[in-house]
Amino acid sequence: QSVLTQPPSVSAAPGQKVIISCSGSTSNIGRGFISWYQQLPGAAPKFLIYDNNKRPSGIPDRFSASKSGTSATLGITGLQTGDEAEYYCGTWDNSLSAWVFGGGTKVTVL
């Protein structure tokens, strides 16, 4: 069971928007910064978002994120078939003294 809670799956039609939630506590999301990772089928995770809402170079602005209190969200607009992947949130947990991740959310483009 993961420390950060994500929905197992979300789906939407091409061109639409999906939002993925990530819920934690005051010892992790509530006290620090969250990052997001995209794992395409059969591939390694890829760095997607850092510092709650910043995109590394090369990540399209269709991907956005935010944090409020002990929860965070990742949004994908203009959904494309190439966005079908597993998405993970991650941050430091001060109580566990460990980097922790959510269980992952599978995005399906209908």
Name the site residues for other proteins (rule: CB under 8 A): 2, 32-33, 35, 37, 43-47, 50-51, 56, 88, 90, 92, 96-104
Q: Identify each DSSP E strand in 5-84 by its residue range.
A: 9-12, 18-23, 35-39, 46-49, 63-68, 71-76
Considering beta carbons, is residue 43 or 78 the nearer one to other proteins? 43
- Helix, strand, coil shares, percent, the chain, to 5: 5, 50, 45
Considering beta carbons, is residue 24 or 102 the nearer one to other proteins? 102
CB of 68 to other proteins, least distance (A): 17
CB of 55 to other proteins, least distance (A): 12
CB of 12 to other proteins, least distance (A): 22
Considering beta carbons, is residue 13 or 68 the nearer one to other proteins? 68
Considering beta carbons, is residue 26 or 47 the nearer one to other proteins? 47
Q: Which residues contact 61 (CB under 8 A, 6 or more apart)?
A: 55
CB of 9 to other proteins, least distance (A): 14
The candidate with the shortest Cα–Cα distance to 53, out of 79, 39, 27, 72, is 72
